Each structure stands twice: as structure tokens, then as C-alpha cells.
Amino acid sequence: MDRETKEMLKVVAVFDAIILFLTIAIALILFNSYKLVIIIGLILAIMNFMLNAIVTNYAFAMTGKKSIYVLSSIVRIIITVVIAVIICSNINNFIAFLIGYSLHYLAVILYGITRKNKKGCD
């Protein structure tokens, strides 16, 4: 994996850890019955992001391995859907899961905002 990807994963992981800590604190106070579902959604999004970065680097570094990327995407989507179906017994749990899953994208946005190297933004 190249240096830039490793750096991105580290920074996003820090933002994810902060968001996870804040989410746990807020959920304990306001949404105690949904805290586990929110946390599972956030952790699943983090794992998907990390696996996507690893597989993408591997697939595009090796010539002829582009099918691994597509297969990996399909498998990750199926796993996410299965987990969502298992833990989302009602619409409130489903919404809590989506909120948790979406919180990860806040970390990605924060990474983009704080990134020092603005290459590609000109």
C-alpha cells in the first residue's frame, strides 16, 4: 500500500475514533436504546472503508486483478445488507443503523477539509 493511502487511513481512523467516542457519549445520554445499533453501523462503515482501500490498492497494483475489486465490492455490500437486516428489526433501528453508517462519511469529509496537500483541487 502506498504512503499516501496509509496516511489517509490513519487520519480518517483518528477522526473515526473521535466521532465514535462522541457518538457513544451522546447515545448514552439521548439514545440509549439505539446506541448499539448506531455503533455497529459506524464500525461497519469504518471496516468497509479500510477494506476498500486495501483491496483497491492491491487490485490496481497488480495487472489483471481488476475483477478482485468488483468481487470485493459485491461481497462487502452483501455482508452489510445481511448485518443490517439482522439488527434492524424495526424502522427505528434501521434509521439508527443508517445514522451510524453515515457518521463515518463525516470523518472522510473532515479528512478532505484538513488535508494539507490540495493536489487535484486546482
Indicate if the pLDDT at residue 119 is higher than 70. no
pLDDT digits (tens, 9 = 90+) for 2-49: 788 888 899 999 999 999 999 889 888 887 888 889 889 999 999 999
Q: Write out the residue range of the structural domain in which residue 39 sits.
A: 3-113
pLDDT digits (tens, 9 = 90+) for 16-26: 999 999 988 98
- Of 47, 49, 27, give the one whose Cα is nearest residue 37: 27
Indicate if the pLDDT at residue 62 is higher than 80. no
Indicate if the pLDDT at residue 121 is higher than 60. no
pTM of the entire predicted model: 0.82
d(CA 72, CA 104): 20
Evaluate whether residue 50 is within a structural domain: yes
Evaluate whether residue 47 is within a structural domain: yes
Cell 462522541 -> residue: 22
**Structural domains counted in the chain:** 1
Evaluate whether residue 101 is within a structural domain: yes
